[in-house]
Structure 1
Amino acid sequence: MKKFLFALLASGLITGSAQARDQLSLAGSSTVLPFATIIAEEMGKNPKFKTPVVESGGSSVGKKGVCEGIGTQFIDIGNASSRMKASELEFCNKNGVDVTEIKVGYDGIAVANSLQGETLTISKADLGMALTAEVPACYEGSGRNYNCDEWIANPFKKWSDINPSYPALDIRVYGPPTTSGTRASFAEMVNQKAYCGKEPIAKKASAARGDKKGKKCRAMRTDGAYIEAGEQDNLIVQKLQEDPNAYGIFGFSYLDQNTDTLQSAIVDDTPATFELIASGDYAISRSLWFYVKHAHVGVVPGMDEYMKTWTKNWGPDGILSDAGMVPMPEAERASYAKAMTDLPKLTADMLKK
């Protein structure tokens, strides 16, 4: 009897006052949310299982939530549109939580606006320059032209302040908050790598302040040019439909589902389209993930079935593709389908690949 009770404790079924769950609990990325919801609803058609509960909150909520502990008061799977970092995995290890990393497909980060507004055609570096919190003090129009190594609060008010060919409109961009994987990916790919990593003045100034990789450039403006609109991307879509002079940042699937009212910006000569994301040619593309908690597999009903439901629907002809998710190549799908069965423990070395 003592061994039996110990086994229950280890599996998380006895956790103080927590009650055993009979349905899966997931949380995380608002970009992964619509796809995870589709899979949950498909799984719910099987009378053997209850429909999983899928919540948003942002990628950081998904990755932190799955790592917080073992037991039915914690989520089973964390969804993310940005890959787990070594520091986030350390939090898992600290709490004795083993996870498996599953890539499920690809997505583009769309920059879009109302069809009633002016299409934004812009370089990725200039997009970063428009939205990063600080810029070097030697740009024309910055108001101070004497010290390229000095950083000042971003002074650009209009897109045309950066390049006369851009719209003469106030820079006003609705986007996700700091908890969002979409924001983290955008800030890294656009602000950090495209602007501070490649634009000559910003690259030199970043090195001068001891920031050769440009990580400080990830900070977004807080002066009204960039407006946090919460974790629900559909709220950003609504804002753009109401304000034709504003632009928004969100997952491609939300643009794909609203092409009757929204249009993509042209970033580095490419619009956000299914085909260009699939080919890797779209300028702001990223992978989508979820993280599976080992200790809950075989304990909370439906973990295996949930993963199998993904593999049945994530191909080019599946319902996820119809919803705007860009499928992985066949070999990659096979690799991650195998990971769902083998459940390899995620390690810091694996995150370096």
Structure 2
Amino acid sequence: MTAPVWAELVGQDDVVATLGSAVAGQMTHAWLFTGPPGSGRSNAAMAFAAALQCENGGCGTCRSCVTAAAGSHPDIAVINTDGLSIGVDAARDAVRRAALHPSQGRYQILVVEDADRLTDQAANALLKAIEEPAPGTVWLLCAPAVEDVIMTIRSRCRPVLLRTPPASAIARLLHERDGIELEVARRAAAAAQGHIGRARGLARDPEARRRRAEILSLPVGLRGLGDCFRAAQRIDQEANARAKERCDVLDARELSNLQESWGVEERGRRPAGYAGALSSLTKEQERRRKRMARDAIDGVLLDLLSFQRDVLTLQLGTGAEAINADVADDIATMAARTTPEGTLASIDAIVACRDALQANAAPQLALEHMMSRFLG
């Protein structure tokens, strides 16, 4: 019987078996969890951390498991970022933490959730600590692919490859564990294309499902360049609005914490050094907002990619099940209006847009170019 801490790892039986064996005794000091977005890299790493600290291999109910799940275990540290990269200061803090003896647990565990976002300086700062860890220290790194982590670090880690979980398994999880209506769970799981967190968000939020359906209807409404520019502007503006909504609360909390740590009152004098600290915080918050907006745009592009995939499968008569069954009429309209060659060109345009955004292109310009290519 599988230990309860692994319950969220959907469709990852081989991974659970490997990690379970390590908990039982076949332990390595550094691990690299890789897999596509939504496959559960961070969940796997955190479940592994909980199981390593648990006296019963991950019972899910003891104090150690409960605090690990809540993110408050004193001997499990998580290094991540809401910005574009993890800098050298965060890496050095992690190295200092790694040198400590466990205070309550069996190990001192450091989980680097975005190892692919380590700057070169940050990666080099971690290298020595990973290469020659302190006794009882375990490093758990997460990245989309092994190649996303520098060679000197990845060569010292044991790889754990997670796969995209099947939609049926995600739907079952949402239905049985979250109590979501089965048909809603199935459609959300299909739309999320293996991303468990996104599937859960869609299943729980009717407004998110409505927004997604509106985005998928955009290609059908394109008649000229004006429509393309308006569609691109809408995607960009909505992404920035969602990023702002998520960041405003975080920004205010961080500013309050900074002021408190420096003893700054609203109208009082600012101590020496505060201006520099405030400037650093403001820059990091702007990087986070930019990353969240780009992540939101990338989510839209993946949705449009799935829509064009459905159009192409209908045009080719493959009989494959549609990812976006809730917009079947729009899929049929596009399939009748365009040719398979045109649909493939649209798919290429979406892929090119994603590549351009990865290369730091201006989002609205990249989106406008993509939309204009939808016209053929």
TM-score range, shorter chain: under 0.3
Task: Determine which structure has the larger strand proportion and give its number.
Answer: 1
Task: Determine which structure has the larger helix proportion and give its number.
Answer: 2
Q: Who wins on radius of gyration, i.e. which is larger? A: 2
TM-score of the superposition, structure 1-length normalised?
A: 0.25
TM-score of the superposition, structure 2-length normalised?
A: 0.24
